[in-house]
Amino acid sequence: MIIDAHIHLWRLGRGDNLALTPEMGSIYRDLEPQDVKPKLDAAGVSLAVLVQAAETLAEALFIVGLARKFPWIAGIIAWIDPASPSVDEEAAALAWLPPVKGVRPVRGDNRSIDWMLDRQLERGWHAIAANGLSLDILVQNWREISLAAALARKYPDLVVILDHCGKPDIVGGVFDPWAQHIDELAALPNVSCKLSGLLNCAIPGTAVADIAPYAAHVLNAFGPSRVMWASDWPPLELAASYPVWIEISRELLQPLSAQHRNEVLSGTATRVYRLNQN
């Protein structure tokens, strides 16, 4: 089984996908289940986790509704505001909805995540953990992986997932400083990482050999039991097609044993996100 641990769907007419702009070209349009399902089927992907793409609770209702209609959406990672005066109730409400497995708080598309270390958010992080929700962290600059580590270290009860390998600068050939940050984060037992986003961090058409060291380091640092495969579709389409990424992924995972490949392709996502595979 293959689970795609990170896709997005959106309907622009809803008006809250503010991070999307016409400059994003081919993905600046409505993208709904019928647009991605054929790609999943062709790649042998059985289930997907749908991640927030708007900074509103209203979007959570929309994507939970999609999960109700399409059972192959196995989990929802919703937005939440940890600074909300009613964060306890909002976290409880999200956790009460069966498809919601976790949250991804984002402010201004997380151009920086420094805001996440504000001491006034302590109640919000505790509310997320107390309601059994995981915490996806999106960093837009690999230098801020250390901030994600600081948060995960301060709240060991939080189940934390780093999105997109922390977005290494593959275009610039930056490896060692990024790898050290990954090692710092991977040393924390409450953190997992998504093997995704690497093609978007590279020049289009970059050879697999240039991407492989980054994937290998994530796998070695976290171990297969704390790495989950994902596509980050549709932003993936700005770098390569879904079939290209699935084939590259198979090549990146080839050095692993069959058991460890299965962990990355489905086991970790199932366990960390508590997914029902039925």
Name the band, by pLDDT with cuts 50, 70 and 90, for residue 55: very high
ω before 204 within 30° of 0 (cis)? no
Distance, in Å, from the CA atom of 133 to the CA atom of 208, rounded to the nearest integer, reads 35
Beta bridge partners of 100: 76
Q: CA end-to-end span of the chain, whole Å?
A: 12
Q: What does DSSP say about strands 160-162 and 191-195: parallel, antiparallel, or unpaired?
A: parallel
pLDDT at 11 over 70: yes
Q: Is the pLDDT of residue 278 over 70?
A: no
d(Cα 227, Cα 213) in Å, to the nearest integer? 15
pLDDT in tens, 79-125: 999 999 999 999 999 999 999 999 999 999 999 999 999 999 999 99
Q: Mean pLDDT over residues 207-217, rounded?
A: 96
Question: What value does the mean pLDDT of the chain take?
Answer: 97
Q: What are phi and psi of 128, to 5 degrees?
A: -65, -50
Instruction: Please state the pTM of the whole predicted model.
Output: 0.97
DSSP alpha helices (H): ranges in the chain?
A: 33-43, 57-69, 87-96, 122-130, 145-154, 176-186, 208-222, 242-253, 258-262, 268-273
* Domains of the chain: residue spans and CATH: 2-273 (3.20.20.140)
Residue with tokens 């189940």: 159
- Residue 119 identity (one-letter amino acid): R
60-82: pLDDT as tens digits: 999 999 999 999 999 999 999 99
User: What is the DSSP code string of 158-210?
Assistant: S-EEEGGGG---TTTT--HHHHHHHHHHHTSTTEEEEE--TGGGS-TT--HHH
Could you tell me which residues come within 8 angstroms of residue 169 by beta carbon, excluding any fewer than 6 positions away?
142, 178, 201
